[in-house]
Structure 1
Amino acid sequence: MSSNPRFSSPRFLSRVMWADAASCAATGALQLGLTGTLAALTGLPTALLSGTGLFLLAYAALAAAMARRARPPRTLIGLVALGNLGWAIACLALAASGLFALSSWGIAWLLAQAVCVIVLAELQWTGLRRTRGAPAAALA
């Protein structure tokens, strides 16, 4: 993955942030729009699904704002990558905790989110590493 020149493209970070925004918007909308159905299907509490759904929609707006910028906000994207790793850890911990009577679908829901945000975090870190020291004109 690291030898591919596309990862060094100034637009790479923007594209990753658009993907992050889109995945969070879709997940947040699904969790808010189908809270009761998802709760019944997964075993996750409605308050958790609706609360994280709202958070994901707000985060999606922030990620989209970062993606729209001509010059990627590197520090914020680094924080986002750390946040994505934290989200993955929280999903895995929740799946393993036994705190809720999760169904197989609930475990799958949490594992899918963990995998998705780990991939996004890795892509964000890759983009940050590859564009480190790039001239401002190249990033514009």
Structure 2
Amino acid sequence: MSIRNLKYILIADAVTCTGVFAIGLLAAAPVGALLGLPANIVAVGGWICLAAALLMVVAALQKVPNPALVKLIALGNLGWVAASFAVVATFAVQMTGLGIAVVVAQAFAVLGFAILEWKAVATPRVAAA
């Protein structure tokens, strides 16, 4: 995978994290009600995503993203996936069907980012033209 593609993946990941942060900051209560989750869970998820997005932007702005930082980001994404399934396991009784679907779907999307990011630093790089 090229450095350019890795940077695009990191930026896309950061954009999605920023969206989750905005939801957690601006609409935790209504989104929590829609999903059947406590508002504080939605808000905390947003703040976690802000920290992750900042790391992703730092990596994407480097001429060559630091492999250790990208691996840290990928591992953080795997932690998010595990936490997402823990949220479903913990709150399944009170969650709405939409809530379960959204949490599971975003967990798989984040897993996709983690796999792409890890593979990008685990394979030889091709410099962007």
Q: TM-score, normalised by structure 2?
A: 0.88
1:30 to 23, 30, 33: 23
Q: Which runs of structure 1 show a deviation greater than 2 angstroms over 4 or more consecutive aligned residues?
A: 96-100
Percent identity between matched residues is 35
1:68 to 29, 40, 61: 61
1:48/1:97 CA distance change after superposition, 3 Å: closer
The 8 Å contact of residues 20 and 45 in structure 2, kept in 1 or not, is answered as no
The residue correspondences of 1:1-140 to structure 2 (distance < 5 A) are 8-98=1-91, 101-131=94-124, 134=125, 138=127
- Residue 74 of structure 1 and its aligned partner are, at CA, apart by 0.4
- Residue 58 of structure 1 and its aligned partner are, at CA, apart by 2.5
CA root-mean-square deviation? 2.0
- Residue 38 of structure 1 and its aligned partner are, at CA, apart by 0.6
- Residue 96 of structure 1 and its aligned partner are, at CA, apart by 2.5
- Residue 14 of structure 1 and its aligned partner are, at CA, apart by 1.1
AA aligned opposite 1:108: A
- Residue 98 of structure 1 and its aligned partner are, at CA, apart by 4.0
Residues 27-65 of structure 1, C-alpha deviation per residue, up to 9 Å, x if partnerless? 111222111111111111111111221221232122112
The 8 Å contact of residues 71 and 139 in structure 1, kept in 2 or not, is answered as no
Residues 67-108 of structure 1, C-alpha deviation per residue, up to 9 Å, x if partnerless? 111011100111111111111111112212346611112112
For structure 2, the 5+ residue unaligned runs are none
Tell me which residue corresponds to 1:4: none
